[in-house]
Copies of this chain bind each other. A is one copy, B any other.
Amino acid sequence: MGLDRGSDLPLYQQVAAHLRNQILDGRLAAGTRLAGSRLLAAELGCSRAIVLTAFDLLYSEGYLRSVPRGGVEVAAIARPSGRGAPQPEAGTEGEWVSEAWRSVLDTGYEFDPASPFSPGTPDISEFPFDVWSRLLRQTWGNPASSACIDMPPLGWRPLREATAEYLGTVRGLLCQPDEVAITSASSGALNLCSRMLLNPGDEVWVEEPGFIEARWSLRAAGAKLVPVPVDDKGLIVAEGIRRAPRAKLAVVTPSHQFPLGIPMALERRQELLEWANRQGSWIIEDDYNSEFRHRGSMTASLKSLDRSGRVIYLGTFSKVMFPSLRIGYLVAGPRFIEAFGRGRARIDVHPAGTAQLALARFLRDGHLLRYLRRMRKVYADRQAAVLNAVERLMGADVEVMSQRAGLHLTVLFRPAMTARISDREVSRRSRGTGHFVQPLSQCYLGEPDRQGLVLGYGRLRAEEAFPHLSALAGLIGPAT
């Protein structure tokens, strides 16, 4: 054994660790009399005092015992045998993980973040990291101690204020800082809301087709998912009431339904709010990517119609800035926020602090608004390029669903196409080609009533749209 004098671990600790491992491995059996400290010290090239300290430590830990006529020997230790134990290293985790955890692992889902078509992946190449890194340095160079100890469970106050202002400006959503909670992106918000509102077995309406990621947190909270179909006016509320009138929660994307892109019609919004009020149920509005609207008209958020605090509005900065940021927000009534904060303080404490200070400044100084203006144009051009390429390459085979916002387009197979090939088959063929595309049917809990493809273009440069899509069209093959 060699001692590492550069290590922060004291030499006697290194000696003790060396002997301890030999004892635990059985290389030094019980009753073995240890060589004298002088001998061992000479062998290891350290002072005898160090060896004696190591002996003391192992003695106090019970690895050594003194023997009648001086000296020490290895004590009798019941080594963990591991006999008869279901080893976690053996078998599948299905044998030992919780049902909730397994339910999440079991849901199949294909996603290739490297694909130019991966939906919801933003382009980070133009993000002003110079500004971001400067703000990080400025905010942490000499921080207030209130920023260094545990932050409030609802988030750093200046960030809550800046977020409320941001939502008014960008989204026309008028809210007070007290109604805002900072979360670990929108998935973190959904995760905590699910645990806060749902008891195992509670029914939850989810859109069919819908956002797959959203279902995981609901499942993990023990929810019974009730798929509610979507038509050209959005969620069919009457059908939801027929299938699960007493659902505790409905999770919807009213601004532009994921993945179809349909805005929820006003009468449906009113029906949904009426139902929630009547039932005392909750509505989670996931307003994903509404910052990236391409047509002028921005649909008002469902939250802005909510007069009785049943709507919990979710959004995230991670998608509009960069994903690893993991900062989002929820907007809800003061009483909800209060109970959210008190419970969160006990199981989640508060969202990581480091980025919150810089983000508050980034918003206040208008950097995000400027960046958004630039990126709206970038993404609008990309969408236009994809629309154009789809029209030219697959016009006869597919129908494009309108997308007034977001980072993806969904194309539906026309009957002739559906007769030729399934969307899962197209997706299967695209694997490993560098153009992996998600099948629409993957977004269904039940039997798909549509076939199509979800085409993300967040990282697809306009000039690359045509070549990538013709490669994809090539996989599908011509109409016969």
Chain B residue contacts of A86, Cβ below 8 A: 280
A137 contacts the other chain (Cβ, under 8 Å)?
Answer: yes
Mark A54-96 against chain B: 1 for CB-CB distance below 8 A, else 0: 0011001111000000000000011111111111110001001
* CB within 8 Å for A197 and B327 given contacts A78-B274, A187-B347, A273-B80: no
Minimum Cβ distance to chain B for residue A457 (Å) = 16
Whether a CB of chain B sits under 8 angstroms from the CB of A416 is no
Report the Cα distance A199→B222, complex, angstroms.
10
Kindly list chain B residues whose C-beta atoms are within 8 Å of the C-beta of A96: 197, 280
* Cross-chain contact A339 with B80 (CB below 8 angstroms): no
Q: Is A334 an interface residue (CB 8 A)?
A: yes
Whether a CB of chain B sits under 8 angstroms from the CB of A151 is yes
Q: Does A32 contact B (CB under 8 A)?
A: no
Q: Is the CB of B78 within 8 A of A336?
A: no
Nearest-CB residue, chain B, relative to A198: B98
* Bound CA span A351–B104, Å: 18
Q: With A270-B77, A324-B350, A348-B188 in contact, do A89 and B149 touch (Cβ < 8 Å)? A: no
| With A10-B296, A80-B308, A277-B80 as contacts: A352 and B339 at CB distance below 8 Å | no
A130 at interface by CB-CB < 8 Å: yes
What sequence of 0s and 1s flags, for each residue 119-130 of chain A, a beta carbon within 8 Å of any chain B beta carbon?
001001101011
CA distance A136 to B139 in the complex (A): 10
Instruction: Give the interface residue-count category, chain A.
Output: 35 or more
A97-B197, A141-B129, A143-B129 known; A309-B89 Cβ under 8 A: yes
A134 touches B (CB below 8 Å): yes
Q: Is A267 interfacial (CB 8 A cutoff)?
A: yes
Contacting pair B8 A80 (CB below 8 A): no
A61 to B214, CA, bound (A): 26
The A353-392 residues at the B interface (CB cut-off 8 A) are: 353-355, 358, 369, 372-373
Give the contacting residue for A348; candidates B80, B137, B187; CB below 8 A. B187
Select from chain B the residue with minimum beta-carbon distance to A24: B305
Residue-wise, chain A 137-165 has the 8 Å CB interface mask toward B (1 for contact) of 11111110101111100000000000000
Cβ of A108 to closest chain B Cβ, rounded Å: 12
Name A147's contact: one of B130, B297, B324, B358 (CB within 8 Å).
B324
A27 to B349, alpha carbons, bound, how many Å? 43
Q: Are A325 and B297 in contact (CB under 8 A)?
A: no
A13 touches B336 (CB 8 A): no
A53 proximal to B (CB < 8 A): yes
The contact of A347 among B89, B97, B142, B220, by CB within 8 Å, is B220
Closest to A169 in B: B8
A417 within 8 A of B: no
CB < 8 Å: which of B20, B305, B347 contacts A104?
Answer: B347
Residue of B nearest to A25 (CB): B307
B347 near A277 with CB under 8 A, answer no
Q: Is A306 in the interface zone, CB < 8 Å from B?
A: yes
Query: Do A324 and B298 have beta carbons less than 8 Å apart?
Result: no
A278 x B169 contact (CB < 8 A): no
Q: Is the CB of A148 within 8 A of B124?
A: yes
Asked whether A216 is an interface residue with its Cβ less than 8 Å from the other chain, the reply is yes
For A79, what are the chain B residues with a Cβ–Cβ distance below 8 Å? 270, 307
- Interface residue? A12 (CB, 8 A): yes
> Taking the complex as formed, is A466 at the interface, i.e. its CB lies under 8 A from any CB of chain B?
no
Is B8 touching A170 in the complex (CB atoms < 8 A)? Answer: yes
Determine whether A441 belongs to the interface, using a CB cutoff of 8 Å to chain B: no
Candidates B62, B338, B352; contact of A326 at CB < 8 Å: B352
A8, chain B: closest CB distance, angstroms: 5
The answer to whether A213 touches B346 (Cβ under 8 A) is yes
The 5 closest A-B pairs by CB, nearest first: A324-B353, A62-B266, A85-B277, A93-B339, A352-B352
Q: What are 19 of the A-B contact pairs (CB < 8 Å)? A: A8-B369, A17-B172, A78-B270, A82-B308, A83-B277, A84-B278, A85-B277, A85-B310, A93-B335, A98-B196, A101-B195, A101-B343, A104-B343, A104-B347, A107-B346, A147-B324, A188-B348, A216-B346, A216-B347
Chain A interface (Cβ within 8 Å of chain B)?
Answer: 7-10, 12-13, 16-17, 20, 24, 53, 56-57, 60-63, 77-89, 93, 96-101, 104-105, 107, 113, 121, 124-125, 127, 129-130, 132-134, 136-143, 145, 147-151, 168-170, 172, 184-185, 187-188, 191, 195-200, 213, 216-217, 220-222, 265-267, 270-271, 273-274, 276-280, 296-300, 304-310, 322-327, 333-336, 338-339, 342-343, 346-355, 358, 369, 372-373
